[in-house]
A and B are shown apart, each in its own frame.
Chain A
Amino acid sequence: MPNTLVVQAHQATRLITLHRPHALNALTTELLGELADELQRCADDPDVRAVVITGSRKAFAAGADLNEMAERDLVGMLDDPRQGYWQRITQFPKPLIAAVNGYALGGGCELAMHADILIAGEDAQFGQPEINLGIMPGAGGTQRLLRAVGKSLAMQMVLAGESISARRALDAGLVSEITQPELTVERALQIAQRIAAKAPLAVRLAKEALLKAQDLDLASGLRFERHAFTLLAGTADRDEGIRAFQEKRQADFKGC
């Protein structure tokens, strides 16, 4: 059983709650490792079709663990296992939804940006305050933030260490929805369960195609999309989906 996470099953979705209440869910190496392991379990489990990740009412995650970081010198940083954990989180193949309340700062903001969909409570705050400590974001903060909110705001957040409100995050496109804080997790689960009812292979390839859009030029991206689209023609779920639509009934997807 993980020490720093609480995992709950909700039908075909998993809710992973970061649980280090005394440290505003600061992302220790232990926590990151447990999260990577848990996501691996979710990836391997055919009954899991989507995952929601959340923190507490007060903090999604307020950054990395500074005590840990202070102990690492240059060589220690090079051998840092965290890098590998982040990579495993990045490679999670199923839909990942972040339900963010309170602080999502530094590594916490970066973790939220690893999710495919971000839902924020009205009082959520996003920021990359690393610069205030003489360091900089090290887990995608300079890359994913720029792609999500555009250059000027990303620069302001990263260089001046200024946080933004949920409202601004919505306007900038960092999050897709704002909810009342009491309902953030519920709303995220609702979306996750909606996704879980779709054809898993279509969801997986669609997620992959969307992520390619950030890395590839348009022509290559379109080519990838077409290949993925074509692949789905070979699935039983595609036939079921089209037939259910014609017969005006709910489709029953099997994941094959």
Chain B
Amino acid sequence: MTFEHILFSVEAGVATLSLNRPEQLNSFNAAMHGEVREALKRVRQNPEVRVLLLTGEGRGFCAGQDLADRNVAPGAEAPDLGESIEKFYNPLIRTLRDLPLPVICAVNGVAAGAGANIPLACDLVLAARSASFIQAFCKIGLIPDSGGTWSLPRLVGLARAKALALLGERLTAEQAEQWGLIYRVVDDAELRDEALKLARHLATQPTYGLALIKRSLNASLNNDFDAQLDLERDLQCLAGRSEDYREGVAAFMAKRTPVFKGR
């Protein structure tokens, strides 16, 4: 499959997936969904990949659903948006959350609708200072999807989540950082470099262990304390069997820098 709507490359353990419909602010249509799905499948199946960097081309990160797309355009019949979510958005969000490696999202510009919530399904979100997040759904009679109603209250609290979702106002990247919605704001000119630097670092780290960290923290939002302690026990049991743990301990004992293989 050759890609028309995204750019995809793998280099030195870093897979970079950049949404590439800049004229439409990288909004999703069925074709772009298909390409993103294929790219994520390659990420999952390629043992060389140890980190995923998700970003967008042009001035926007992603404006959510392309409302001109025939799959959701209001025609003679009312469209079944539930079906569109079941088919496209939910699998995408689940995949990003479940990928057994760190996912970095570099939000290079406006992130609206589903585009504002896709970063929240990633693990580390960097945003350009000029970027902004808009829960635009309420302006067209919809609810935040792509996991937004789940992520927002957990990240910023119910009061702010409701304000964002009910008012649909533009949230600046700096405000998003202050609220704890994202990890870090960087200057526009430095976003790519910073994101790559982070990605290259993570590509040298114990990937399997990082995947378990990601799994445990994601699960913590649903588990009660006892269940989480049980999960820590089980995941540590798995982590303790990894090659990288042995290497980490050996390197520590020998006072040298560890060389991790991601296994």
Chain A interface (Cβ within 8 Å of chain B)?
A: 179-180, 182-183
Contacts and interface: CB of A to CB of B under 8 A. Distances in A.
B207 to A, nearest CB: 15
A135 B135 CA distance: 47
Nearest to B222: A167
A183 B238 CA distance: 8
A180 B234 CA distance: 7
Interface in B205-263: 231, 234-235, 237-238
A65 B237 CA distance: 37
A183 B231 CA distance: 11
Interface residues of B, number: 5
A180 B237 CA distance: 11
Given A180-B234, A183-B237, 6 more contacts: A179-B234, A180-B235, A180-B238, A182-B238, A183-B234, A183-B238
Nearest to A122: B219
9 contacts: A179-B234, A180-B231, A180-B234, A180-B235, A180-B238, A182-B238, A183-B234, A183-B237, A183-B238
A121 to B, nearest CB: 11
A125 to B, nearest CB: 14
A216 to B, nearest CB: 36
Nearest to B215: A180
B235 to A, nearest CB: 7
Nearest to A183: B234
Nearest to B241: A182
A180 B211 CA distance: 13
Interface in B17-60: none
A183 B233 CA distance: 11
Ranked nearest first, the 7 interchain pairs of A and B with the lowest CB-CB distance are A180-B234, A183-B234, A182-B238, A180-B235, A179-B234, A180-B238, A183-B237
Q: Among A179, A180, A182, which residue has the most Cβ atoms of chain B within 10 A?
A: A180
A102 to B, nearest CB: 14
A166 to B, nearest CB: 13
Contacts of B231: 180
Nearest to A179: B234
Contacts of A180: 231, 234-235, 238
A99 to B, nearest CB: 14
Contacts of B237: 183
A180 B218 CA distance: 14
A14 B238 CA distance: 23
A80 B175 CA distance: 69
